[in-house]
Amino acid sequence: MKWSEKFFAVLVILILLSAVRVSAADPGKTGFSFLKVSPGARNAAMGDIGVAVTSSLYGVYFNPAVIADIKKTWVGFMHHENIFDSRREFVGVATPLFGGAISLGFDYFKIGSIESREGPTEQPLGTFDARDILVYGAVAVPVSERLSMGGTVKYAAERIESQTASALLVDLGARFRPVEKVFIGFVARNIGSSPKFETEKFDVPVTIAGGIDLEVKNLTAGIEVSKPKNDDVKVNLGLERYIMEFVSLRAGYKFGYDEENMAFGVGFAKSIWRVDYAFVPFKSGLGTNHRFALTVQFK
């Protein structure tokens, strides 16, 4: 066994030990739920798999190591319409540098018209909105021909009415290719400080995830298992198939989620342009989740 493979095995053991610690953690309040929502539309349409999937930009959310082998600069924009009059805007860039890659991104969430009450009343005292931001910087490097590693530093903040909480977080991940066209990924996300509103302190959704991905000429298929802190184990399945040189169809399914299970989408790629759309319905009839993402590739 090569040293890089031994290193990967040790890293996986450490992540699995962290997973045991996350699973055994005492129940507590978990906030910053926006950290659980991935950017982009391609991965969302594939059931939110991404820990091992080759990606040009948006995969940094799932595992920073997946961008280690990019050869060109990518700039991405996303608009996300969600339930309860909420929306999201994202802009990011990923570019090769010094044999590896770096990525920078800015995520903005807004939920408007939240009713304010001090007790069970028919009429609210008024309304207010909530705003979340996420700023990140990621670095990924190929350690060997088969192994890539990456890390992300994130600043997350949430403002509800007049109160603000913030946290500095880190993601650590690795991606390994045991055989041709098969990739295995492991990641620990949202490790860091605990934010608080005034005197109320709470946890962030620390998550341990692992996945395996098959990538042949026109087909990508993967399965992932994740364990967020203070939550149940999640299983995600995803599939992408190119039916033409520039058109791809996507589908996914999620197990262990309260509101989401199925996901569908389509992607168009032409010249330097990539346009992706994801459709994610909610199980309880709350509506549907629509995502649009535009990615531009520069030489």
Domain ranges of the chain: 3-117+126-298
The structure tokens listed for 93 are 């860039």
**Confidence at residue 24, expressed as pLDDT on a 0 to 100 scale:** 47
| Whole-number average pLDDT of the chain | 84
**Confidence at residue 9, expressed as pLDDT on a 0 to 100 scale:** 58
Q: Encode pLDDT of 67-95 as tens digits.
A: 999 999 999 999 877 665 677 889 999 99
Beta bridge partners of 213: 183, 222
| Closest to 204 measured CA to CA, from 189, 186, 217 | 189
Taking phi first (over 0 means left), then psi (-120 to 50 degrees means alpha), and beta for anything else, what does residue 12 get? alpha
**Confidence at residue 238, expressed as pLDDT on a 0 to 100 scale:** 96
Q: Encode pLDDT of 117-166 as tens digits.
A: 455 555 555 555 678 899 999 999 998 888 999 999 999 998 877 778 88
**Confidence at residue 32, expressed as pLDDT on a 0 to 100 scale:** 82
Fold of 3-117+126-298: Porin (2.40.160)
Cα–Cα distance between 56 and 214 in angstroms, integer?
Answer: 17
DSSP annotation string for 57-124: SGGGGT-GGGGTT--SEEEEEEEEEETTTEEEEEEEEEEEETTEEEEEEEEEEEEEEEEE-SSS-SS-
**CB 93, CB 297: distance < 8 Å:** no
Find the range with the poorest average confidence among 20-34, 69-83, 197-211, 221-235.
20-34
Q: Which phi and psi (to 5°) does residue 129 adopt?
A: -120, 165
Is a pLDDT exceeding 70 seen at residue 4? no
Q: Which phi and psi (to 5°) does residue 22 adopt?
A: -65, -45
**CB 216, CB 222: distance < 8 Å:** no
The structure tokens listed for 264 are 């569908």
Question: What average pLDDT does the segment 180-192 reach?
Answer: 92
DSSP class of residue 39 equals P
Q: Encode pLDDT of 262-283 as tens digits.
A: 999 999 998 899 999 999 888 7
**Confidence at residue 158, expressed as pLDDT on a 0 to 100 scale:** 86
Question: What average pLDDT does the segment 229-248 reach?
Answer: 92
**Confidence at residue 285, expressed as pLDDT on a 0 to 100 scale:** 60
**Confidence at residue 74, expressed as pLDDT on a 0 to 100 scale:** 95
Host H or E run for residue 237: strand 234-242
Rg for the chain, CA atoms, rounded: 19
**Confidence at residue 222, expressed as pLDDT on a 0 to 100 scale:** 96
Residue with tokens 């540098």: 97
Q: Encode pLDDT of 5-33 as tens digits.
A: 565 556 655 555 554 454 444 445 677 88
Cα–Cα distance between 167 and 192 in angstroms, integer?
Answer: 7
